[in-house]
Structure 1
Amino acid sequence: MTTQVRTASDLFTESLRLLLAKDMAGYAALWAVDGVMVFPFATADYPARLEGRAAIAAYLRGYPDLLDVQEITEQVVHRTGDPDVVVAEFEAAGVAVATGTPYRMRYVAVLTARNGEIASYRDYWSPLAATEILGGLDELKAFAGEASKA
């Protein structure tokens, strides 16, 4: 019996399902042990790169306390010339937990799979929009600081 390895597209779809379920441990478990998460547009006080599944799990642990993502309103997955790489555009909607402010943010992610796990995830999002949604730069810095300590 052959076990089918999850594709990059499968991993992306599963990551959104786990995000909506607020299963951050399950979300982090999609990463390879040496997988990386990169934030190319990170501000100076925000981590630009997380290395390893453990660091990604620590970063994600408090995410549902920051943002209550309730819906993925748009989603397009673009396949590339490399079957292990997809480029995804999506919009998440929900509520900023601390302020009760409605949350709606567009993302572009580049996901690279290896052996059925996420080897690399480049997350392109707007720190300016996140700052506005969360109620200020201090709130964004606080989340980044707590995540980097965990």
Structure 2
Amino acid sequence: MTVPITAAELYRHGLQLLLRKDIPGWVELWDEDGVQEFPFAPEGWPGRLEGKSSVAEYMRHYPDHVDLHAFPDVKIHETTDAGTIVVEMRGVGRLVRSDTPFDMTYIAVVTVVNARITSYRDYWNPLAVQQPGADFTGVRR
């Protein structure tokens, strides 16, 4: 496999890894000191993960809770910084425990340096975890 070069290529490759439920492969896209932030995280959920190992721990059981089927409508906007992109997208699938539909919109600001994610700000909708049937138990930390 060829290592993606641009931030957009790396991001799209990461989406494919998530669809294949290859969490270790997705985590390998991260820099050792990478930071993931959730600016709209609800109370009791992490607002910031520091380091690749923290990201790995947070995502370790993700496929046991969310079965992703597709990322429709992915729009990647390049910025004046070649390593930083802004992504608009939807993730669709099902919540495993409750077997209910999963449909989440995201905006992410992602920075890639030397083909590794160094910063990922995930602006997801926290109201979705408060909807009836939204069983995210175990996803949060």
TM category (shorter chain) comes to over 0.9
Unmatched 5+ residue regions in structure 1?
A: 146-150
Conserved in 2, the CA contact under 8 Å of 1:38 and 1:49? yes
For residues 102 and 89 of structure 1, what CA distance do their matches in structure 2 show? Answer: 20
- CA offsets 1:17-56 (integer angstroms, 9 cap, x no match): 1110000011111000000110010012000000111110
Cα drift, residue 143 of structure 1: 2.6
Identity fraction in percent: 41
Q: CA offsets per residue over residues 92-130 of structure 1, 9 Å max, x none?
A: 110000111111111001100111100000001011113
Deviating more after overlay: 79-88 vs 122-131: 122-131
Contact 1:79-1:87 within 8 A present in 2 as well: yes
TM-score scaled by length of structure 1: 0.87
Question: Runs of 4+ in structure 1 displaced over 4 angstroms?
Answer: none
1:143 maps onto 2:139 in alignment: yes
Instruction: Decide whether the 8 Å contact of 2:4 with 2:10 is kept in 1.
Output: no
Contact 2:65–2:136 (CA under 8 A) maintained in structure 1: no
CA distance in 2, matches of 1:89, 1:109: 7
Counterparts of 2:19 and 2:133 in 1: how far apart (Å)? 19
Q: How does 1:70-149 map to 2 (within 5 A)?
A: 70-132=69-131, 135=134, 139-140=135-136, 142-145=138-141
Contact 1:37–1:121 at 8 Å: present in 2 too?
yes
Any stretches of 5+ residues in structure 2 without a counterpart? none
- Count residues with an aligned counterpart: 140
Q: Secondary structure at the match of 2:74?
A: strand
Query: For the residues of structure 2 that align with 1:61 and 1:6, how far apart are their CA atoms?
Result: 26
Pick the structure with more helix per residue.
Answer: 1
